[in-house]
């Protein structure tokens, strides 16, 4: 029975054909409402996963794929897992970067930065709130310093900043800056 059958008055509630008719008439509307709510939640930036998040990213205009350095693949004497008979010998024509599909959490960060950049009015008063919205969990803090010479420095600090996150920052996917201003980044005090 649909939720509307519970609203039938006491005079009609004892009539089974009337109850069935109301249920038959109102159940499609109730099912469509449930499906619509599920779609809204499924494509919400904070709740979407996998393909749904890819569709949100397509709508926003940011791809999940970035170029990143190829780590732990080529031969190295310093790393036991990449020593003799384990690592691949690097030829001079082998690329040192490859296409990486970032995980859902890093991709959400990239999408939040793109949304923030698209909605930002360019004032320095809005910038701290915008940086806080990129990492809403608070595990990574982003602050900035206006150097007063058409440059600014963005400081990123946190306990654990993954190599993928560092690469996202280095490649400018989190670049939110006024037009004509150059930006340098420092992650935990180290310039990148």
Q: In this predicted model, what pLDDT tens digit does every residue of 107-158 receive, in sequence order? A: 998 899 889 888 888 887 888 888 888 888 778 888 888 888 999 888 888 8
The answer to whether residue 48 is domain-embedded is no
Which residue segment(s) compose the domain that 90 sits in? 65-101
Claim to verify: residue 92 and residue 116 sit in the same structural domain: no
Report the pLDDT value the prediction gives residue 85, as an integer from 0 to 100: 65
Nearest-angstrom CA–CA distance, 70 and 74: 8
Claim to verify: residue 186 and residue 117 sit in the same structural domain: yes
Q: What is the DSSP letter of 90?
A: P
The answer to whether residue 1 is domain-embedded is no
Mean pLDDT of 54-78: 80
The answer to whether residue 56 is domain-embedded is no
Q: Answer whether residue 82 shows pLDDT above 80.
A: no
This prediction has a pTM of: 0.69
Claim to verify: residue 175 and residue 112 sit in the same structural domain: yes
Q: Tell me which of 54, 74, 101 is where a domain ends.
A: 101
> Of 175, 173, 38, whose CA–CA distance to 107 is shortest?
173
The total of structural domains in the chain comes to 3
> Of 82, 139, 79, whose CA–CA distance to 106 is shortest?
139
Q: Answer whether residue 81 shows pLDDT above 80.
A: no
The answer to whether residue 55 is domain-embedded is no
The answer to whether residue 163 is domain-embedded is yes
Contact 164, 98 (CB under 8 A): no
- The total of other beta-carbon atoms located within 10 Å of residue 127's CB is 21
> Of 58, 60, 53, 66, whose CA–CA distance to 101 is shortest?
66
> Mean pLDDT score of the chain, rounded to an integer?
82
Nearest-angstrom CA–CA distance, 139 and 157: 9
Claim to verify: residue 84 and residue 122 sit in the same structural domain: no
Claim to verify: residue 119 and residue 181 sit in the same structural domain: yes
C-alpha distances in Å from residue 57, one per residue of 47, 107, 140, 176, 192:
13, 8, 22, 18, 26
Report the pLDDT value the prediction gives residue 190, as an integer from 0 to 100: 77
């Amino acid at each position: 029975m649909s939720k509307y059958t519970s609203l039938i008055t006491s005079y009609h509630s004892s009539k089974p054909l009337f109850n069935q008719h109301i249920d038959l008439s109102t159940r499609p509307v109730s099912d469509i409402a449930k499906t619509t709510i599920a779609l809204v939640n499924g494509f919400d930036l904070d709740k979407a996963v996998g393909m749904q998040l890819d569709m949100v990213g397509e709508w926003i205009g940011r791809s999940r794929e970035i170029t990143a350095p190829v780590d732990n693949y080529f031969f190295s004497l310093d790393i036991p897992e990449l020593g003799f008979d384990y690592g691949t010998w690097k030829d001079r024509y082998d690329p040192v970067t490859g296409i990486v599909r970032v995980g859902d959490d890093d991709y959400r960060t990239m999408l939040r930065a793109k949304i923030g950049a698209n909605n930002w009015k360019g004032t320095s008063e809005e910038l701290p709130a915008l940086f806080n919205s990129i990492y809403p969990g608070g595990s990574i803090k982003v602050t900035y310093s206006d150097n007063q010479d058409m440059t600014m420095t963005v400081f990123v600090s946190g306990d654990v900043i993954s190599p993928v996150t560092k690469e996202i920052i280095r490649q400018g996917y989190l670049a939110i800056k006024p037009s004509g201003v150059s930006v340098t980044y420092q992650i935990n005090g180290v310039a990148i």
